[in-house]
Amino acid sequence: MKLAEVAIRRPVFTVMMITALVVLGYFSFEQMSIDLMPDVDFPFVVVTTIYPGAGAEAVETDVTKKLEDAINPISGIKHITSYSEEGYSLLVAEFVLEKDPQIAAQEVREKVTATRGDLPRDIEEPVIARYDPESRPIMSLTVSSARPARDITTFTKDEIQNRLESIPGV
């Protein structure tokens, strides 16, 4: 109640304090930097394996399950998501935010390498990668026309691509 009493008894003081807070807030807001793509290391590691000619069930039992079992004991894993389809296995390991993504990727790489002998011989070498949002395109364009594909390709490379590449920072 003391604050309310002071505000009522001294209206000029109250208005001056509110004005000072608004001005201070405005200047603080102006000094604050905003980044569309902040520098954040996402703790995700992706393991992709190609198993040519294998069905989804074979991929799951012979590749995906074995890789899941291999990387599951790594400390700091929050969640593992896996996808198995015909000839293709994908594992996404999510780590706690405190885990260094480079160390996490190295630990996953070591576990996958140690398990390589238990996997089928005719699979391609598993690819281990960290999720990097900066590697994703910011913009995708689609060009269509009634003209022949060669003309569209030439126009796109000569006109659109050159103009986009001339923009600073691209």
Q: Which residues pair with 96 in a beta bridge?
A: none
Residue 149 is encoded by which pair of tokens? 């594909």
**Helix (H, G, I), strand (E, B), or coil: what is residue 159?**
helix
**What is the domain class of 44-135 according to CATH?**
alpha beta
> What mean pLDDT do residues 100-118 have?
91
pTM for the predicted model, two decimal places? 0.60
All residues at 6 or more sequence positions from 120 whose CB lies less than 8 Å from its CB, including other chains:
51, 54, 62, 63
Least Cα distance to 91 among 74, 76, 108 occurs for: 108
Tell me the pLDDT tens digit for each residue of 54-108: 898 999 999 999 999 999 999 999 999 999 999 999 999 999 988 888 899 999 9
User: What confidence tens digit (pLDDT) does each residue in 8-62 have?
Assistant: 888 999 999 999 999 999 998 888 877 666 666 778 899 999 999 889 899 999 9
pLDDT for position 136: 67
Q: How far is CA 144 from each of CA 79, 138, 153, 156, 160, rounded to the nearest angstrom? A: 41, 20, 10, 10, 13
